[in-house]
């Protein structure tokens, strides 16, 4: 429920929740669980951390956001529409035939930098971009959001090694650690154990953060951005399906769309 004292990012988070539940319901699409787990992180990121201008999406001075877990496109499209990159009316087209708003993220949509969906691609692309920016002595930052399931991809670890070795200091990797991937719990498939320690051993500056507490998310971004020497990673501890009881911490929330009753419940609650 929105209160008078809600921050800008908390208001955005409520709008995003309403939008994505409706979009995924309309499209009979999937991946609501993984969209809800990263919704609060995106709300804070797009409320003053990321340097962007919706009127000039290709501005040379912009920061870059790359979604590597491209299957949660709905939450990024909703964020971009709420920030004014394009009209919210377009959200109705999500997941429909011939729509620009495809269910896996597309760079044809204003404000989206890269199309992804095949996992393990976002971080290598982001690190290449970061290297290019640094070689040109540019100040832009690159934020890349990956899932915890993508930490099973070899390409992810190749890029983590490369960034640590070359001290690529303009990349901030955001891990949506909801502990579930498409086929089960991450610790049963490949146990990631102490991720912070793992990243530090590869030369990264690593932070743990509750991925649903807006003030903590904002403070952790600020803390991470103070470091000018190393690549940075924020390990966001999140809940898959956060905010809808039937979806929270459930594997099935990776796949199934909300029912009509669940849609009504979310709309009434907001
Ligand atoms: Mg996951």
3 assigned to some structural domain: no
1 assigned to some structural domain: no
Number of domains making up the chain: 1
pLDDT at 188: 94
Distance CA 127, CA 166 (A): 10
CA of 252 from ligand 1 middle (Å) equals 12
Distances (CA, A) of 122 to 76, 104, 150, 261: 15, 13, 10, 35
List strands edge to edge, sheet with 232-237: 64-67, 142-147, 171-177, 232-237, 205-210
Packed helices 8-27 and 32-44: angle between N→C axes, nearest 10 degrees: 160
SS3 of the chain: CCCCCCCHHHHHHHHHHHHHHHHHHHHCCCCHHHHHHHHHHHHHHHHHHCCCCCCCCCCCCCCEEEECCHHHHHHHHHHHHHCCCCCHHHHHHCCCCCCCCCCCCCCCCCCCCCCCCCCCCHHHHHHHHHHHHHHCCCCCCEEEEEECHHHHCHHHHHHHHHHHHCCCCCEEEEEEECCEECCEEHHHHCCCCCHHHHHHHCCCEEEEEECCCHHHHHHHHHHHHHCCCCCEEEEEECCCCCCCCCCCCCHHHHCCCCCHHHHHHHHHHC
CA of 177 from ligand 1 middle (Å) equals 6
CA of 180 from ligand 1 middle (Å) equals 4
CA of 147 from ligand 1 middle (Å) equals 5
CA of 135 from ligand 1 middle (Å) equals 33
What confidence tens digit (pLDDT) does each residue in 228-247 have?
Answer: 999 999 999 999 999 999 99
Q: Which pLDDT band holds residue 270 (cuts at 50, 70, 90)? A: confident
CA of 18 from ligand 1 middle (Å) equals 22
CA of 3 from ligand 1 middle (Å) equals 30
pLDDT (average), residues 213-226:
98
CA of 238 from ligand 1 middle (Å) equals 9
pTM to 2 decimals? 0.96
2 assigned to some structural domain: no
166 assigned to some structural domain: yes
CA of 78 from ligand 1 middle (Å) equals 20
> For a pLDDT cut of 90, what percent of the chain falls above it?
93
Interstrand relation of 232-237 and 205-210 (parallel, antiparallel or unpaired): parallel
CA of 249 from ligand 1 middle (Å) equals 10
Q: Phi, psi at residue 214, to the nearest 5°?
A: -60, -40
What confidence tens digit (pLDDT) does each residue in 20-52 have?
Answer: 999 999 999 999 999 999 999 999 999 999 999
Locate 46 and state its tokens.
């797009």
CA of 38 from ligand 1 middle (Å) equals 10
CA 266 to centroid of chain Cα atoms: 21
The whole domain housing 76 covers 8-269
Locate 23 and state its tokens.
């979009």
153 assigned to some structural domain: yes
78 assigned to some structural domain: yes
pLDDT at 1: 58
199 assigned to some structural domain: yes
185 assigned to some structural domain: yes
- CATH code at position 213: 3.40.50.970
What confidence tens digit (pLDDT) does each residue in 55-111 have?
Answer: 999 999 999 999 999 999 999 999 999 999 999 999 999 999 999 999 999 999 999
pLDDT at 2: 58
Please give the mean pLDDT across all residues of the chain: 96
């Amino acid at each position: 429920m929105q209160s008078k004292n809600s921050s800008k990012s908390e208001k955005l988070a409520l709008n995003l929740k309403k939008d994505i539940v409706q979009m995924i319901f309309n499209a009979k699409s999937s991946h609501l669980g993984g969209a809800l787990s990263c919704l609060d992180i995106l709300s804070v990121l797009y409320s003053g951390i990321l340097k962007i201008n919706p009127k000039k999406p290709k501005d040379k001075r912009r920061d870059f956001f790359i979604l590597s877990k491209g299957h949660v496109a709905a939450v990024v499209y909703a964020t971009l529409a709420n920030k004014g990159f394009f009209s919210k009316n377009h959200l109705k087209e999500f997941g429909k035939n011939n729509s620009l708003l495809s269910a896996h993220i597309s760079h044809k949509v204003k404000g989206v930098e890269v199309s992804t969906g095949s996992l393990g691609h976002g971080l290598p692309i982001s690190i290449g971009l970061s290297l290019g920016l640094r070689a040109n002595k540019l100040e832009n930052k690159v934020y890349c959001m990956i899932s915890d399931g993508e930490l099973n991809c070899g390409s992810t670890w190749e890029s983590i090694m490369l960034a640590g070795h070359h001290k690529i200091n303009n990349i901030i990797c955001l891990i949506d650690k909801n502990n579930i991937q498409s086929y089960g719990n991450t610790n049963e498939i490949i146990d990631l154990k102490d991720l912070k320690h793992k990243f530090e051993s590869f030369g990264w500056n690593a932070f743990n953060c509750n991925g649903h507490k807006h003030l903590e998310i904002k403070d952790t971004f600020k803390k991470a951005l103070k470091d000018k020497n190393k690549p940075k990673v924020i390990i966001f501890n999140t809940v898959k399906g956060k905010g809808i009881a039937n979806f929270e911490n459930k594997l099935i929330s990776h796949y199934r769309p909300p029912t009509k009753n669940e849609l009504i419940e979310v709309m009434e609650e907001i």
